[in-house]
A and B are shown apart, each in its own frame.
Chain A
Amino acid sequence: MAASFGVSSAAVALADHAVKSSAFPLPSLTVIRSEARPISGRVNRSRKAGKISTHAVAAQTENPASAASKPGHEVLLFEALREGLEEEMERDPRVCIFGEDVGHYGGSYKVSKGLADKYGDLRVLDTPIAENSFTGMAVGAAMTGLRPVVEGMNMGFLLLAFNQISDNCGMLHYTSGGQFTIPTVIRGPGGVGRQLGAEHSQRLESYFQSIPGIQMVACSTPYNAKGLMKAAIRSENPVVLFEHVLLYNLKERIPDEEYVVSLEEAEMVRPGEHVTILTYSRMRYHVMQAAKTLVNKGYDPEVIDIRSLKPFDLYTIGNSVKKTHKVLIVEECMRTGGIGASLTAAINENFNDYLDAPIVCLSSQDVPTPYAGTLEEWTVVQPAQIVTAVEHLCR
Chain B
Amino acid sequence: MALYLSKSGKFLPHFITKMSSLGMINLSSLGSCLSQNPPLLTEDGRTSYAAPGNDPTHFVCRRFGSVKADKLASISTNADSQLLNFPGGVVKFTPELKFLSDAPEERIHCYRVLDESGHLLTSDFVEIDKDIAVRMYKEMVMLQTVDTIFYEAQRQGRISFYVTAMGEEAINIASAAALSMDDFVFPQYREAGVLLWRGFGLQDLANQCFGNIGDNCKGRQMPAHYGSKKHNYFTVASTVATQIPHAVGAAYSLKMEGRDACTITYFGDGGTSTGDFHAAMNFAAVLEAPVILFCRNNGWAISTPVSDQFRSDGIVVRGQAYGIRGIRVDGNDALAVFSAVHTARKMAISESRPVLIEALTYRAGHHSTSDDSSKYRPIEEIEWWRAAQDPVGRFRKWLEMQGWWSCESDTELRGWARQEVLNAIQVAEKAEKPGLREIFTDVYDVPPSNLRDQEKSLRQTVQRHQRDYPHFQF
Q: Measuring CB to CB, which residues of chain A are less than 8 angstroms from any residue of chain B?
A: 20, 23-25, 96, 104-105, 116-123, 125-128, 130, 132-146, 148, 163-164, 167-168, 171-181, 212-213, 215, 235-237, 264, 311-312, 314-315
Q: B442 and A311: CB pair below 8 A?
A: no
Interchain residue pairs with CB less than 8 A apart (6): A104-B55, A121-B34, A127-B283, A142-B249, A175-B221, A179-B217
Q: A179 and B445: CB pair below 8 A?
A: no
- B56 contacts chain A at the CB level, 8 A cutoff: yes
Q: A175 and B41: CB pair below 8 A?
A: no
* Inter-chain pairs besides A178-B442, A179-B227, A213-B443, 9 sampled, C-beta below 8 Å: A130-B279, A133-B245, A133-B248, A133-B279, A139-B249, A144-B249, A175-B217, A179-B216, A215-B444
- Shortest Cβ gap from B14 to chain A (Å): 15
- Shortest Cβ gap from A169 to chain B (Å): 10
Tell me the count of chain B residues lying within 8 A, CB to CB, of chain A.
66
Q: A23 and B452: CB pair below 8 A?
A: yes
| Residue in contact with A122 in the complex, picked from B221, B251, B255, B449, CB distance below 8 Å | B255
Q: B249 and A148: CB pair below 8 A?
A: yes
Residues of A within 8 A of B447 (CB): 23
**Top-7 shortest CB links A-B:** A136-B245, A140-B249, A140-B246, A133-B279, A130-B279, A137-B249, A141-B249
Q: What's the Cα separation between A133 and B38 when bound, in Å? A: 27
| Residue in contact with A128 in the complex, picked from B57, B225, B282, B445, CB distance below 8 Å | B282
Q: What's the Cα separation between A195 and B447 when bound, in Å? A: 40
Residues of B within 8 A of A145 (CB): 253, 257
| Residue in contact with B286 in the complex, picked from A23, A128, A181, A237, CB distance below 8 Å | A128
Residues of A within 8 A of B47 (CB): none
Which single residue of chain B is at the shortest CB-CB distance from A212?
B443
Cross-chain pair count, CB within 8 angstroms: 186
Residues of B within 8 A of A142 (CB): 249
Residues of B within 8 A of A132 (CB): 245, 275-276, 279
Q: What's the Cα separation between A167 and B218 when bound, in Å? A: 18
B427-474, CB < 8 A from A: 441-450, 452
Q: Given A179-B229, A213-B443, A311-B450, A122 and B36 touching (CB < 8 A)? A: yes
- Shortest Cβ gap from B211 to chain A (Å): 11
Q: What's the Cα separation between A127 and B447 when bound, in Å? A: 34
Select the stretch in B235-243, B306-314, B378-386, B398-406 that faces chain A. Answer: B235-243
Which single residue of chain B is at the shortest CB-CB distance from A105?
B57
Residues of A within 8 A of B234 (CB): 140, 143, 176, 180
Q: Given A143-B246, A143-B250, A179-B228, A237 and B445 touching (CB < 8 A)? A: yes
Residues of A within 8 A of B441 (CB): 178
| Residue in contact with B235 in the complex, picked from A104, A130, A176, CB distance below 8 Å | A176
- B329 contacts chain A at the CB level, 8 A cutoff: no
